[in-house]
Amino acid sequence: MAQLVFYHHPQAENFSLKFSSASVAEILSQREQSDESTKLIGYPFETPVYVLYEGESEIESAQEVDFDQEWLSDRIRDLPRAGQVVAFRLVELLEAAVDVRDEDEFRLYKEFEPQKIQQALDHVSWGAPLSTVAGEVMSNLILRHSLPNANHRTGIAMLQFCIESVEPDFEMPRTHVDDDTWREWVDPYIVGSKRLITVRRNNLRFKQLEELDVDLVERKDGIQIRLAQFELDMHWREALSEYAEQHESHCTDFAQSVLERAERDDLLDRQGPTKQEFITYLEDGLVERDFREMF
């Protein structure tokens, strides 16, 4: 039977796996050295495994945050114009998602980090084929994880806007969570993305688990990561680069699938937008858009 441990603490999802050991003394020593709030789980395998989880003691409800102009302006004033525009639209998308989805789905697990939005824009191959640009926009926004939640859903929306900046009449295939098409093809891409980004940040921790004969790691939402399917034995910097490349390829495949399902093969070879064309569309092309219909 497979030996499984949880990546997020099952009673506190804001606590994530930081260290594992077969030694009680070693895990307690690690706990004493931690500057964060911690929780422990002992897994009663044939050879027991002890896991230390670290995290914040509180999770803020998205319903309690007032995403007003002053709140946002204070956080993005030092960004270049492009970063400000994308940050503004991302927060609008987050507000729309909070408005239409279940409240429990939008607890805030981290701070808003708008500086990471500019980092994401700097890693896009602007002017490359459309599926490449759209996929990289989605991938890099997800990898930088700037929002406190909903990074995948807003990343898909930005992919859509990227396509629309080249073809304003583009009709996006349905990607609503409550739609059958979600389960058929959108959700598998998101699950694959979450596996890649989790391994990317934790290759050494997962290698340690593998050495303790753990087979599976399960993150929240029931997403399981089979450790044998991933290369874990590399320096953490190498893992960041390797799995970022895999994630970009994964999201580019998604962008291509979007175009094919929309029956817009004519856009597969179309040149993608420049950064300025994308930003101009976000500023001027979405003024009357009700983002709630996207969720």
pLDDT by position in tens, the chain (length 295): 789 999 999 998 889 999 999 999 999 999 999 999 999 999 999 999 999 999 875 555 555 555 666 767 777 888 899 999 999 898 888 888 877 765 555 565 567 788 889 999 999 999 999 999 999 999 999 999 887 667 888 999 999 999 999 999 999 887 666 667 667 888 899 999 999 999 999 999 999 999 999 999 999 889 999 999 999 999 999 999 999 999 999 999 999 999 999 999 999 989 999 999 999 999 999 988 888 887 7
Verify that 193 and 153 share a domain, yes or no. no
Verify that 120 and 101 share a domain, yes or no. yes
Q: How far is CA 10 from CA 7, 53, 164, 219, 221, in A?
A: 9, 11, 40, 9, 11
CB burial of residue 227 (10 Å; 0-12, 13-18, 19+): middle
CA atoms within 13 A on the CB side of 233: 3
Verify that 85 and 117 share a domain, yes or no. yes
Flag whether 247 is in a domain. no
Supply the Cα-derived Rg of the chain in whole angstroms: 20
* pLDDT at 30 (0 to 100): 95
* pLDDT at 153 (0 to 100): 87
Verify that 287 and 149 share a domain, yes or no. yes
User: How many whole angstroms separate alpha carbon 209 and alpha carbon 22?
Assistant: 10
Verify that 40 and 90 share a domain, yes or no. no
* pLDDT at 292 (0 to 100): 83
Verify that 19 and 150 share a domain, yes or no. no
Flag whether 116 is in a domain. yes
| pTM score | 0.90
* pLDDT at 150 (0 to 100): 73
Flag whether 42 is in a domain. yes
Verify that 113 and 218 share a domain, yes or no. no
Flag whether 20 is in a domain. yes
Flag whether 132 is in a domain. yes
Verify that 54 and 195 share a domain, yes or no. yes
Flag whether 13 is in a domain. yes
User: How many whole angstroms separate alpha carbon 238 and alpha carbon 205?
Assistant: 14
* pLDDT at 173 (0 to 100): 84
Dihedral of CA 141/142/146/147: which sign? positive
The token pair at 57 is 């003691």
To which H or E segment does residue 53 belong?
Answer: strand 49-55
Domain that holds residue 96: 79-170+264-294
14, amino acid identity: N
Q: How far is CA 148 from CA 17, 69, 86, 95, 266, in A?
A: 19, 18, 15, 12, 36
User: How many whole angstroms separate alpha carbon 289 and alpha carbon 295?
Assistant: 13
Percentages helix, strand, coil for the chain (3-state, rounded to 5) are 55, 15, 30
Q: How far is CA 63 from CA 35, 56, 101, in A?
A: 29, 19, 11
Flag whether 259 is in a domain. no
Verify that 146 and 280 share a domain, yes or no. yes
Verify that 153 and 109 share a domain, yes or no. yes
- For residue 239, what are the contacts with CB-CB under 8 A and spacing of at least 6? 199, 200, 203, 204, 232
* Helices of type H across 179-274: 180-181, 187-211, 236-261
In sequence order, the β-bridge partners of residue 51 are: 20, 41
Residue 30 contacts residue 21 (beta carbons within 8 Å): yes
Verify that 92 and 228 share a domain, yes or no. no
Flag whether 250 is in a domain. no
**Number of folded domains that form the chain:** 2
Counting DSSP H helices and E strands in the chain, the numbers are: 10, 9
User: How many whole angstroms separate alpha carbon 170 and alpha carbon 264?
Assistant: 8
Verify that 150 and 218 share a domain, yes or no. no
